[in-house]
Chain A
Amino acid sequence: MSKELTHAARGPQDIAKLTPEQAKKVVTFGAVAAVVGLAVAGAAFAADKQRFAFSYLVGFMFVTTIGLGALMFVLIQHVVRAGWSVGPRRQMEWITGILPWTVALFVPVAMTAHTLYEEWMGPNGHTDKAIAKKLGYLNPSFFFTRAAVFFAAWALLSWWFSKTSAAQDDAKKPGEITLKMSAVSAPSIFVVGVTLTFAAFDWLMSLDPKWYSTIFGVYIFAGGFWSSLALLALVTLYLQGKGFFAKVSTVEHRHDIGKLLFGFTVFWAYIAFSQFFLIWYANIPEETIFFKHRWIDSWQTVSMTLLFGHFVIPFLWLLPRTIKRHKLGLGIAAAWCLVMHYVDMYWLVMPNLDHHGAHFTWIDLGGLLGPVGVATLAIALRASKGNLFPVGDPRLPEAIRLQNL
């Protein structure tokens, strides 16, 4: 490989592996996060089972969509033969480490499903004419079968792409592995696109089984992809701050991640606006009810927070080149975006419980911290093993040469 490096890439290489102590520290951090998260979640569950069911669904969707966004990122990099993202792709592979755990994270959702999806799982489903018509799709056995298919598909893809990428690190013919991942990624995008859509329908849209929107899957994808980029930015900044990655992930890569974060800020807004605007304009009661619920009392504030916090502020903040390249500037944006993704999930789920206005309680925090803790552990376990960047990727020299002129 060294033969192929140009002068920009010569000189000492980046540290590719954590020391055993560092790796241990990472895993410990993840484990502590998981324990603390699960403890708070457990306390919240004990305190208020009904509220916890909804709060937990918010947290579950928060981490699951981030994992799916990361998986989409990895797949897209392979399918378009991206050169710049070779380094960051490894960090995204870590983030997809959430996905094999989602099946375990789903257990509380499954246990509380009758609370969450009372409207169609309960007796009301058979008596309400409008809901009864869709029981062919919305019924518990089909619901859980679908969930099993989703988890299997995601775990398989997350595992295969990370394993294959890791195997490339010391493969004799790394080029062939790149081609193999590229070939598998194209159909995988289909699988993720379809499963993500129906997961969004099943777990979020069916909370209000009478409401429907064809764009809903795209909406969830947009938010998930956006927040996975935000998490990638944070992980990248952390590692760069610790002195890793003098070459494979520099200010140039940060800039590119910032550009994508900016782009998907607009994309999310575009999808969210399309959904809102068409429903508002046509003003059909069975559709407007969704926004009506989110316009009651303090939900108004949350809705406006989404408009400004999920779009206007990050849009303006991420517009200048300087901010995207600035460590603190990008870091603030990334952390902000993750908070906003949580607000988005909260805004989708909680109005189904809090009909008279939003009121955030510590139970909601428990619902968030449980899944986030487990996700942190999942990412930490991946990060602690193997190389920090795909050392054997044939496009690594190209990634190192990246410059935003």
Chain B
Amino acid sequence: MSAAPVPVTSDVDDPSIRAPLVLGRQNFATVSDSVSTIVERKAPKTWFLLLGLALSILAILGGSLVDLVWKGVGRWGNNHPVGWAWDITGFVFWIGIGHAGTLISAILFLFRQKWRTSINRAAEAMTIFAVMAAGIYPAFHVGRVWLLYWVFPFPNQMSVWPNFKSPLLWDVFAVSTYATVSILFWFVGLVPDLATLRDRATTRTRQIVFGIFALGWRGSHRHWLNYERAYMILAGLSTPLVLSVHTIVSFDFAVSVMPGWHTTIFPPYFVAGAVFSGFAMVLTLMIIVRKAFGLEHLLTKRHLENMCKIILATGSMVGYAYAMEFFIAWYSGNDYERYAFVNRAFGPYKWAYWTMVSCNVICPQLFWFKKIRTSIPAIFVISIFVNIGMWFERFVIIVTSLHRDFIPSSWGYFRPTLIDISTFFGTFGLFLTMFLLFLKFLPSIAISEVKGVMPAADPHHHDDRHEAHEGLTGGTGNEDHHESDPEAVHA
């Protein structure tokens, strides 16, 4: 093995070797550098431009919500018979986006998928921001947002309790647990990297701020041992959590007796769809990030290709679920079930239905072709289509099932109001603002984890040149105080 040349591209198809996850002649110091400098250097002009744009969109959200609170929830277009529309669509859309982060950080970790290391940090950050964006909807749909704490069951003098039989209450538990564990998981993973930034700090403020959040991390063996244990436990806990969240979101609909909502495949179908949409969002964002910050050697084409394959797999699962729903609606022989699906595909919302099918079922099938899943422009376009398709999926499920009630006098056609549109548009402002701040102020790639998957970190690695250790006194962990010494790198 020692004699085999280290491949420098990610186009390795020889099954006897694993494609490198970090390209070029990289060592631990250059990996630290390429990620840390994003935080340390002054942000590029484009970043300020984008932040300005994101803040403007965020302002639209603020304005919409003020209007909503001031004048009432009637400012949204929800009305009989469609009493639930863009609000819950937006909620499910954002919650779904978050799922990729946890899948990458927890499930791929348990399956020893080392390629996750380059994308997990940003994906987990995305998870948290997506959950924040999702939270906007239930929070403001209660009308008097200052009474939001009533969603939690607590003893009170009015003896008013939330309905424990309602999946909406289970959502409160599921989403808040999920958000808490996701933040913990993200933070635990950040600790060694924050210590790296602390040790490289050139200003006192940076040293103190990163120092506080690094929790006194010194990279000792005992620290690493505790870290790895905590990480494993959090991964184990997050795995059922990530399934539970979208399962309970699917219960919001599936426990009802509504044709189009009540079907047993909903839980796994929603989870697959959530992972599908989350990976699409990771791709959309990371394709820009890796280019903008020059991280192509850490987030290689191979990483993108792997994500495309996951999109293909989960997109096909979603397609399977659509097919099952249709087949069983027919097979059930129930006229209402059958009508709900015929109406979905050929009724007044057929445009939405076929947009959904084109984006979610047909579009990802293009990833069967290697040419397409290795072409960055193609991946970017398809990832956006998937994002669009997954928004439409929720819209189709929610609105088409409601708009024609059992009695034709209760039929209607939902049209969003300006505030519907501006609220949803505005949540992108929140999401992007948070994401841009994250990119600038925190290491957007897990430095210590990427080092762990480099050949030099393998105890079986016998490279006489000791490339990765050039200038270092040894060790594979956090000798970042060495790395911050510019001479050490070139020694």
Residue ranges of A at the interface with B (Cβ–Cβ < 8 Å): 4, 6-8, 81, 83-84, 130-131, 133-134, 137, 175, 178-179, 182, 186, 190, 193-194, 197, 201, 210, 212-218, 266, 270-271, 274-275, 277-279, 281-284, 286, 393-395, 397-398, 401
A215 touches B15 (CB 8 A): no
Partner of A133, one of B18, B257, B333: B333
User: Which A residues touch B240, using CB under 8 A?
Assistant: 266
In the assembled complex, 15 residue pairs joining A and B whose CB atoms fall closer than 8 Å, in A order, are A4-B16, A130-B333, A131-B333, A178-B15, A179-B15, A182-B15, A186-B368, A190-B316, A193-B320, A213-B328, A215-B268, A270-B268, A283-B257, A284-B262, A394-B14
Partner of A197, one of B251, B267, B324: B324
Knowing A175-B15, A214-B325, A394-B14, say if A274 contacts B264 (CB, 8 Å): yes
Bound complex: CA A215 to CA B267 (Å): 9
Knowing A81-B15, A284-B257, say if A4 contacts B1 (CB, 8 Å): yes
Bound complex: CA A81 to CA B247 (Å): 29
CB distance from A253 to the nearest CB of B (A): 13
Q: Does B255 contact A (CB under 8 A)?
A: yes
A217 touches B15 (CB 8 A): no
The interface bits of chain B over 1-17 (1 if a CB of A lies within 8 angstroms of the residue's CB, else 0) are 10000000000011110
Bound complex: CA A153 to CA B330 (Å): 26
Q: Which of B16, B254, B255, B268 has the most CB of A within 10 A?
A: B16
Q: Does B375 contact A (CB under 8 A)?
A: no
B13 touches A179 (CB 8 A): yes
The interface bits of chain B over 297-334 (1 if a CB of A lies within 8 angstroms of the residue's CB, else 0) are 00000000000000000001000110011001011111
Q: Which of A210, A218, A393 has the most CB of B within 10 A?
A: A218
B264 touches A213 (CB 8 A): yes
Q: Does B465 contact A (CB under 8 A)?
A: no
Beyond A133-B333, A179-B13, A286-B334, 13 additional contacts (C-beta under 8 Å) are A134-B330, A134-B333, A179-B15, A194-B320, A212-B331, A213-B328, A216-B264, A217-B324, A270-B267, A270-B268, A274-B268, A278-B267, A282-B255
User: Which B residues touch A84, using CB under 8 A?
Assistant: 112
User: Which B residues touch A186, using CB under 8 A?
Assistant: 368
Tell me the interface secondary structure of chain A in the complex.
helix
User: Which B residues touch A137, using CB under 8 A?
Assistant: 331
User: Which B residues touch A197, using CB under 8 A?
Assistant: 320, 324
Partner of A282, one of B247, B257, B320: B257
User: Which B residues touch A393, using CB under 8 A?
Assistant: 15
Residue ranges of B at the interface with A (Cβ–Cβ < 8 Å): 1, 13-16, 18, 112, 240, 243, 247, 251, 254-257, 262-268, 316, 320-321, 324-325, 328, 330-334, 368, 460
User: Which B residues touch A193, using CB under 8 A?
Assistant: 320
User: Which B residues touch A283, using CB under 8 A?
Assistant: 257
A218 touches B265 (CB 8 A): yes
User: Which A residues touch B1, using CB under 8 A?
Assistant: 4, 6
A175 touches B16 (CB 8 A): yes
Bound complex: CA A130 to CA B264 (Å): 20
Knowing A130-B333, A212-B328, A286-B334, say if A278 contacts B264 (CB, 8 Å): yes
CB distance from B396 to the nearest CB of A (A): 16
User: Which A residues touch B14, using CB under 8 A?
Assistant: 175, 394
CB distance from A390 to the nearest CB of B (A): 12
Knowing A6-B460, A178-B15, A197-B324, say if A214 contacts B255 (CB, 8 Å): no
Q: Which are the 3 A-B pairs with shortest beta-carbon distances?
A: A394-B16, A214-B265, A133-B333
CB distance from B470 to the nearest CB of A (A): 24
B16 touches A278 (CB 8 A): no
